[in-house]
Amino acid sequence: MNNLRVARRMKKLTQQKVADLMNIDRTTYTRYESGEIQVDNVKLLQLSEIFGVSIDFLLGKTSTPASKTNQRLIPVLGEVPAGVPIDAVEHVEEYIDLYPNFVPDGEVFGLKVKGKSMEPEIFSGDIVIVLKQDFCSDGDIAVVKVNSEDVTIKRVKVKGNGIMLVPRNPSFEPMFFNSKQIKTLPVTIVGRVIEIRRRL
């Protein structure tokens, strides 16, 4: 059961007013509140902004209506290691809450992990929180794009003549790219992993 009705009443808004703010008809919004139809991710974000509460509260996952002023909502864009549309917001699968005191400034997004190459540090199904940047330091876990298409998550080791992408799982082999390959393939850093989220 969702908390849309509770959140709306906390803001002292009518169903018609909320529908007007969302640019939808009141019947549609009423069906959102009753749970008759599911609210998509874009409209959930819109509702969280209107009511000033978290998406988790709207979905009934928490009883605490955290204020939007203390939150930072970020998109979870897809799966890594392959085919992640980093810049394609239409591929947003969900939004998750971050608290700005715990993350640096800059563009931050989530990615769902697929595969076992980083186990037992990162498991398939985990969400990694990524700070978007085109560089990383030796030893950082980073999201790396190869051939402008393939995306993988690995620990980056900087070598004198290139970089090595190192898996955590010993069953997988490291990948080395020399300076020429880095330029011609190319091999680029998409962002640095700053947090791992695991759902039980």
Q: Hey, which residues are catalytic here?
A: 117, 154
Do residues 187 and 163 make contact, with C-beta atoms less than 8 angstroms apart? yes
DSSP conformation letters of 147-158:
TTTEEEEEEEEE
Taking the C-alpha atoms of residue 59 and residue 64, their distance in angstroms, rounded to an integer, is 11
Cis peptide before 120 (omega within 30 of 0): yes
User: CA of 38: how far to CAs of 13, 58, 187, in Å?
Assistant: 21, 12, 40
